[in-house]
């Protein structure tokens, strides 16, 4: 039992390279499909949004932008900081690190379109009624947990793919990768949606 538990938090000890990429790509596709049906979209590698009115091709494009930016950013940082970093390992582990997003997407049904209006009215009136928007708050907790899990997996993916030992250097490089990925994905997302 503990072996399966460990694999959920560090699958890269068993799966890497193109095999991890294939499994991760299946998760990305399922996340886009399930997320789209529940109006949940993933912008970059950290942000989870409930957006009504987007199409499946938008969900797929957002996943492609996230991975299409994260893999090269972390690969290039890895090349600058370590020797022997293989592209296929970075591609596979970074892609597979996104599998917790499927859980957030699956619980997107808890968010209703009217929650936005209800929350704004509550904030303006100063009276917060959590029962009216309980599904929204449950989803928020699930989405935050999923994002944290995904970031932790991405950290392990970067660590394993580069071979850099646990250190301030590893943490600093990882944070730089997150920031660069988020900023670039944000710009590309704004460009895609002509915002």
**Number of structural domains in the chain:** 1
Give the pLDDT confidence of 40-82 residue by residue, as tens digits: 999 999 889 888 889 999 999 999 999 999 999 999 999 999 9
- Boundaries of domain holding 167: 2-192
Mean pLDDT for each consecutive 10-residue tract of the chain (195 residues)? 70 86 96 94 90 92 96 96 93 94 92 75 76 83 94 94 91 97 95 80
Residue 138: both structure tokens together: 């449950």
């Amino acid at each position: 039992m503990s072996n399966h538990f460990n694999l959920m938090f560090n699958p890269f000890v068993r799966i890497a390279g193109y095999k991890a990429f294939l499994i991760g790509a299946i998760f990305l596709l399922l996340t886009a499909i399930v997320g789209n049906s529940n109006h949940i979209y993933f912008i970059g590698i950290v942000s989870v949004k409930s957006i009504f009115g987007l199409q499946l091709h938008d969900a797929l494009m957002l996943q492609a932008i996230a991975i299409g930016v994260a893999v090269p950013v972390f690969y290039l940082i890895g090349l600058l900081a370590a020797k022997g970093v293989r592209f296929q390992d970075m591609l596979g582990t970074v892609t597979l690190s996104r599998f917790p997003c499927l859980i957030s997407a699956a619980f997107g049904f808890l968010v209703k379109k009217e929650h936005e209006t209800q929350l704004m009215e509550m904030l303006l009136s100063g009276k917060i009624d959590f029962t009216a928007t309980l599904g929204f708050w449950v989803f928020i907790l699930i989405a935050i947990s999923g994002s944290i899990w995904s970031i932790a997996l991405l950290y392990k993916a970067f660590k394993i793919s580069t071979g850099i030992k646990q250190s301030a250097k590893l943490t600093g490089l990882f944070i730089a990768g997150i920031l660069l990925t988020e900023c670039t994905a944000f710009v590309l997302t704004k460009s895609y949606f002509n915002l």
